[in-house]
Structure 1
Amino acid sequence: MKYAATDEMIALRLSEGDDLGDSIAHVCRTCDVDSAVIVSAAGMVSSVTFGWYNGRDYNTETVKDIMELAVLSGNVSYRGGALYPHLHGVFNKPDHGAISGHILQAIVFNNAEVFLKPLSTVMLGRAFDGAFEALAPEKRL
């Protein structure tokens, strides 16, 4: 993995075998970024584990196939005292069929490029809202 960071943007180049979420969290910790928005991403993966929240926990499905990462969205917040990359993505298969959903894990094939926008005036946390831990944004003082 390679990255460059400023107050304005973090650019990551992930290598084969890197975990997408773990890599994002690692760079944010290293750069002292506690809140960020996923701006864009492109690349390829060799497997993705999706999670579907059923109201109690996640039903999971792992797809092991080389796919193109077409869209990545989400944010980085704090959840349970740790950085939490909340990621959703769209992946294209070789036949151009797409699969998508909430990403629990994605392993890079060859490479992936990710761009994050650090937030300096808003702190993204998580708070239990009666159903689950939802985004709880706060203005920084």
Structure 2
Amino acid sequence: MNYRAVETTREYVARLETGADWRAEIESLADEVEADAAWFTALGAVQDAELWFYDQDDLEYRPIEFDEPLEVASCVGNVSLLDGERFAHTHVVLSGPDGGAVAGHLNEATVFAGEVHMRVFEEPLERAHDETTDLDLWL
């Protein structure tokens, strides 16, 4: 296990812009406040979404697309540096009108309404390629 203590320096709340991309909005917030490492939670609604499921046997993401309004029942993730850019690793639970839920890694979604809370860490976190999982993981 790779771990370290983190110190938080700042916290922000933000409203995501209707019509924008959900994950890109979180990355824009991180850029705006110069957060090279952060933890965030969010909620709201999206107009469509593309989730990714990671196939652990084939070591690749498989897209799952939704072209319908969905509630963001839960959204959690972190911000770290990937190839020198701020990257929002984002997971969501989405629900439809019947209350059924889907979940996964959020690649993209169009914001209908969204609110985010971001807690920024003092020291940056960086991602690098991990040979075993074929994923970009924290160093």
Same fold (TM over 0.5): yes
Match of residue 47 from structure 2: 46
Cα displacement (A) at 1:129: 2.1
CA distance in 1, matches of 2:115, 2:110: 13
Shift of 1:66: 0.8
Runs (5+) with no aligned partner, structure 2: 1-8
2:61 matches 1:58: yes
Q: 1:73 aligns with which of 72, 76, 81?
A: 76
Are the equivalent residues in 1 in contact too, given 2:22–2:108 (CA < 8 A)?
yes
Native 8 Å contact 2:80 2:87 kept in 1: yes
Number of residues paired by the alignment?
127
Q: RMSD value over aligned CA atoms?
A: 1.4
Q: Any idea what SS the aligned residue of 2:78 has?
A: strand
Structure with the bigger RCO (C-alpha within 8 Å, sep 6+) is 2
Which residue of structure 1 lines up, in the alignment, with residue 102 of structure 2?
A: 99
Moved over 3 A (4+): 54-57
Q: What's the TM-score once normalised by structure 2's chain length?
A: 0.84
Q: How does 1:1-141 map to 2 (within 5 A)?
A: 7-38=9-40, 40-54=41-55, 55-109=58-112, 111-120=113-122, 122-130=123-131, 131-136=134-139
Matched residues, percent identical? 29
Q: Which amino acid aligns with 1:29?
A: D
* Per-residue Cα deviation, 1:40-97 (whole angstroms, up to 9, x for no partner): 2121101110112334432212101111111011100111121110000001101100
Name the structure 1 match of 2:5.
Answer: none
Query: If each structure's strand is expressed as a fraction of its own residues, which one has the higher value?
Result: 1
TM-score by length of 1: 0.83
SS at match of 1:16: coil
CA distance in 2, matches of 1:36, 1:11: 13
Name the SS for the 1:24 alignment partner.
helix
